[in-house]
Amino acid sequence: MATELHRQVNSVEKESGQEQGGESGAAAVRVRSLTRSFDGRAVIDNLELDVPAGEFVALLGRSGCGKSTLLRVLAGLDREIEGEVLVPRRKAVAFQAPRLMPWKRVWRNVLLGLPGRPGRAVAERALNEVGLGHRVDAWPKTLSGGEAQRASLARALVREPDLLLLDEPFGALDALTRITAQQLVAELWQRRGCAVLLVTHDVEEALLLADRVLVMDGGVIAHQVRVDRDRPRDIADPLLAELRTELLDRLGVQAPEPAVHKVA
């Protein structure tokens, strides 16, 4: 199924998203000559990016290189841009902090901002999908970090996104909870078939989850590797070890010994 792409509006164009038909085919993201500057400094500088429908892409890069800025642009949260950005109308974003409203129960948080007054059952379905069916009526402050992050994922899923944007969603989780959350995202992606763009600092996480790993540097996608391996993957796999060294090298980090774990 070809996903219809829509143009993000920048400061020059005032009209809301124009449809971009057949030319884009089965693409989930098409970015051309994207530039985003803050105070005259281009954080994103003529960036090009294509993500086919259904692809899982991980985005690495040093702190401050512009990963979150790019994600916010793709999410439509930042429109002060130059260049062309085409994304599906149905997209959802989850951040490192779950950003739940403390005065609304979990299921109401999941539905927050959804058009068309959807019923509780919609939230229940998404919460069941992330293994949180027993916390539907809970208050956010009673959730553990991992549960709150799963609630945030459920909130993204009810939007039935063709593009799921994740900004370090596991960053604040302890190591074990993190592995569970990674497995959940891998399962959801396999089940839903949406394109995913995952920003992470964790090279191993990127290699276990993604079809393609990008490195952002100097305002562009400076390097990429394809991870041509079936899932579940083993980080001890020689190909992954080789890619890990290549990516760490590109990030300017010396390779430590890998931790061994598998992700579905």
Residues that bind ligand ATP (CB under 6 A): 38, 43, 61, 63-69
125's enclosing H/E stretch is: helix 120-129
Closer residue to ligand ATP in complex, CB, 44/136: 44
Closer residue to ligand ATP in complex, CB, 61/98: 61
169 binds, among Mg ion, ligand ATP, none (CB under 5 to 8 A by kind): none
Closer residue to Mg ion in complex, CB, 68/149: 68
Give the list of residues 6+ apart from residue 116 with CB closer than 8 angstroms, or none. Answer: none
88 binds, among Mg ion, ligand ATP, none (CB under 5 to 8 A by kind): none
- Rounded least distance, CB 128 to ligand ATP, Å: 31
- Rounded least distance, CB 210 to Mg ion, Å: 17
Closer residue to Mg ion in complex, CB, 92/158: 92
Long-range contacts of residues 184-192, Cβ cutoff 8 Å, at least 24 apart: 184/130, 184/131, 184/150, 184/153, 185/153, 185/209, 186/231, 186/263, 186/264, 187/264, 188/129, 188/130, 188/153, 188/157, 189/56, 189/164, 190/231, 190/264, 192/157, 192/160, 192/161, 192/164
d(CA 106, CA 93): 17
- Rounded least distance, CB 44 to ligand ATP, Å: 8
- Rounded least distance, CB 65 to ligand ATP, Å: 4
- Rounded least distance, CB 69 to ligand ATP, Å: 3
Closer residue to ligand ATP in complex, CB, 61/140: 61
- Contact pattern from residue 50 through residue 79 relative to Mg ion, giving x for each residue in contact according to CB under 5 A and a dash for the rest: ------------------x-----------
User: Smallest Cα–Cα separation from 166: which of 138, 201, 132, 136?
Assistant: 201
22 binds, among Mg ion, ligand ATP, none (CB under 5 to 8 A by kind): none
d(CA 51, CA 27): 6
